[in-house]
Amino acid sequence: MVNRLLICLQNSLFGYSFIGTYILRTGLCLETQHYSDSPNQKDFPSTVLSPGENYKTKTTFKFSVK
């Protein structure tokens, strides 16, 4: 789940985040996270990490321009 929105049009940068409005030459952070209701849904990935367990995750973002 990504909680940011970004739109790039030619040399202008427009977007919205929960913090404010993006302006030209600002950065973008794509933060992944579990589904918010994961602890209550048996079919969702678990968000609980017990002592002694290892945590491993991989996130891939792919972008293209046409």
Query: How far are the Cα atoms of 2, 16, 52 from residue 36, in angstroms, in the given order?
Result: 12, 21, 24
pLDDT of residue 64: 82
pLDDT of residue 55: 78
Residue 16 falls within a domain, yes or no? Answer: yes
Distance of CA 32 to the CA centre of its chain: 4
pLDDT of residue 2: 45
Residue 53 falls within a domain, yes or no? Answer: no
Residue 10 falls within a domain, yes or no? Answer: yes
End-to-end Cα, the chain, rounded Å = 24
For the stretch 31-48, pLDDT in tens is: 777 777 777 888 888 778
Residue 56 falls within a domain, yes or no? Answer: no
If one counts the domains in the chain, the total is 1
Q: Is the pTM of this model over 0.75?
A: no
Residue 57 falls within a domain, yes or no? Answer: no
Residue 59 falls within a domain, yes or no? Answer: no
Domain coverage including residue 19: 5-40
Per-10-residue mean pLDDT of the chain, 66 residues long, equals 48 53 67 76 83 84 80
Residue 30 falls within a domain, yes or no? Answer: yes
